[in-house]
Amino acid sequence: MTDLLLLNAVVLTMDENRPRAQEVAIKDGRILAVGEDDLKSLVHNSTEVIDLGGKTILPGFIDAHLHLRALAESLVTLNIGPASGVSSISHIQERIHHQALTLPPGTWIRAGGYNEIYLSEKRDPNRWDLDAAAPHHPVKLTHRSGHAHVLNSLGLTNIGISKETPDSETGIIDRDLETGEPTGLLYGMGDFLSQVIPPLDESQLDRGVKLANQELLSSGITTFQDASSRNDIERWRSFENWKREGTLQCRVLMMLGFKGFEEYQAGRLTSQMDKSHLRLGGVKIVLDETTGRLNPRQEDLNEIVLSVHQAGRQVAIHAIEETAIEAACSALEHAIRASPRPDHRHRIEHCSVCPEDLAARIASLGIAVVTNPAFLYVSGERYLKTVPPRQLKHLYPLATLIQNGVQVAAGSDAPVAPVNPLAGIYAAVSRKAESGEVVLANEKITSYEALRMYTMLAARSSFDENLKGIIAPGKLADLTILSADPTSVPIEAIKEIRVEMTIVGGDVVYRH
């Protein structure tokens, strides 16, 4: 007998053994059966039957790379992104000034999502722009990429940055060319800022997480992988609380930062949580090139990767440009050769600029790639204007990676891009920026290949393919119901598809 029967649907199972069906039966939070108008015998008095009227059922979307805390913060702080109607620095100033009128002097004002490409001035705001709007409040703006920030003069003073402050090993303080004064623009200094600027208070953060939960569920996401390199025991406890209190209804895989990994190795991280709802993932290592040189250095990276590999954990290396990806491959190859381990499934996160010979190397090492197709849509215009031609021709080479045998999963990297997987699927299939310009048409993939990146291959990227990622008997009943089939509509129509329903463990947690 079944608890829930979904019938009269287009079921895209993502299961090669049975690609399509019409009905799905659910019992005790798992898939009981998949059929073709032949499951009505499983119905009894307490069964809920939902006629989907031809709508499409998919395995629940899995976002293989996002940042929940940053997403939560973005939802409870001032939005100055293009979609909010901001198109100039004067618009930003107006919003900052309005916010300042509502807060006591000295209170931090946080705003985010701006992109200088979409500002009429075609430049980043600076400290003096922000001083004019809020001279008595410290202000922090976060760029849409998450990798740059702008502070006003009071903000810079509060965190101890002045003309005499040197650049760090990992970050750059932008300076006026004539005076040497900091302009307020800081590159690659997010970790530092998180240590010196007071965090959101718990009530604000909890409100942001509730909003993020709704955004994830309304996007059809049933599992997400939190890829913050700052994740540690304290953050694990936060996830436990959010899950226990029902604030987060998605299933969660939390990667550890290297500090968190060391805490884990010391036996300081234990949990009684159901691992199907919250569990630890791999260890996130950031390989950064902000200052023009790799950080950490190759020798240090090799040592870090080897220690994680030998501990039996998965390694997930943030590597964007070709030099960093090469270094990541070298470190992973060093670890694999020094301590062979079958099915390690180490990952490269982003893998943004990747020539074909490098894609072949990644495949030969058995490394997976978790990339971000939606960047093509939200930042495509910026890429076309600013990325050098030598790099541009290898930008987010989805088709090349797949053709070379790389297992490619996808994540939003939210809040950098929208959490909605359909935005990433559209971008992967069309290669179109918001402006309508096409970024490397030869790297288009099919809608089915794109769906695999957000379902089956995303599950595989975290060793979860035995539980989720396809619709088959025995798998978790995590499902996404769409208004139309992405594999059968015109490409431009993918943008118009709605998430009608999201099911986690057999429970309907979202209805349109």
480 located within any domain: no
Cα separations in angstroms, 231 against 182, 239, 425, 512: 30, 10, 28, 33
- Does residue 325 sit in the same domain as residue 339? yes
Q: Edge-to-edge strands of the sheet including 148-151?
A: 78-79, 109-114, 139-143, 148-151, 182-187, 172-175
- Does residue 437 sit in the same domain as residue 332? yes
Judged against a pLDDT cut of 80, whether residue 268 lies above it is answered with: no
Q: Among residues 196, 219, 248, which one ends one of the domains? A: 196
Judged against a pLDDT cut of 90, whether residue 293 lies above it is answered with: no
Helical (H) or strand (E) element with 391: helix 389-392
Judged against a pLDDT cut of 80, whether residue 432 lies above it is answered with: yes
- Does residue 188 sit in the same domain as residue 249? no
508 located within any domain: no
CATH number at residue 154: 3.10.310.70
d(CA 304, CA 318): 14
Q: Residue 48 pairs with which residues in a beta bridge?
A: 4
- Does residue 380 sit in the same domain as residue 255? yes
- Does residue 147 sit in the same domain as residue 253? no
Residue whose structure tokens are 């979202």: 510
- Does residue 374 sit in the same domain as residue 358? yes
Helical (H) or strand (E) element with 96: helix 89-101
Query: By the 8 A CB rule, do 189 and 180 touch?
Result: no
Range of the domain at 277: 62-67+201-470
329 located within any domain: yes
Q: Edge-to-edge strands of the sheet including 479-482?
A: 20-21, 10-12, 56-59, 479-482, 499-504, 507-511
- Does residue 298 sit in the same domain as residue 337? yes
Residue whose structure tokens are 């395995």: 59
- Does residue 312 sit in the same domain as residue 461? yes
213 located within any domain: yes
Q: What is the pLDDT of residues 13-61, one digit of tens each?
A: 999 999 999 999 999 999 999 999 889 899 999 999 999 999 999 999 9
Q: Are strands 221-226 and 251-256 parallel, antiparallel or unpaired?
A: parallel
Supply the pLDDT for residue 73.
95
- Does residue 237 sit in the same domain as residue 303? yes
Task: State mean pLDDT over 94-116.
Answer: 96
Total domains in the chain come to: 2
Q: What is the pLDDT of residues 369-384, one digit of tens each?
A: 999 999 999 999 999 9
Task: State mean pLDDT over 271-279.
Answer: 86
Percent of residues in the chain assigned helix, strand, coil, to nearest 5 = 35, 25, 40
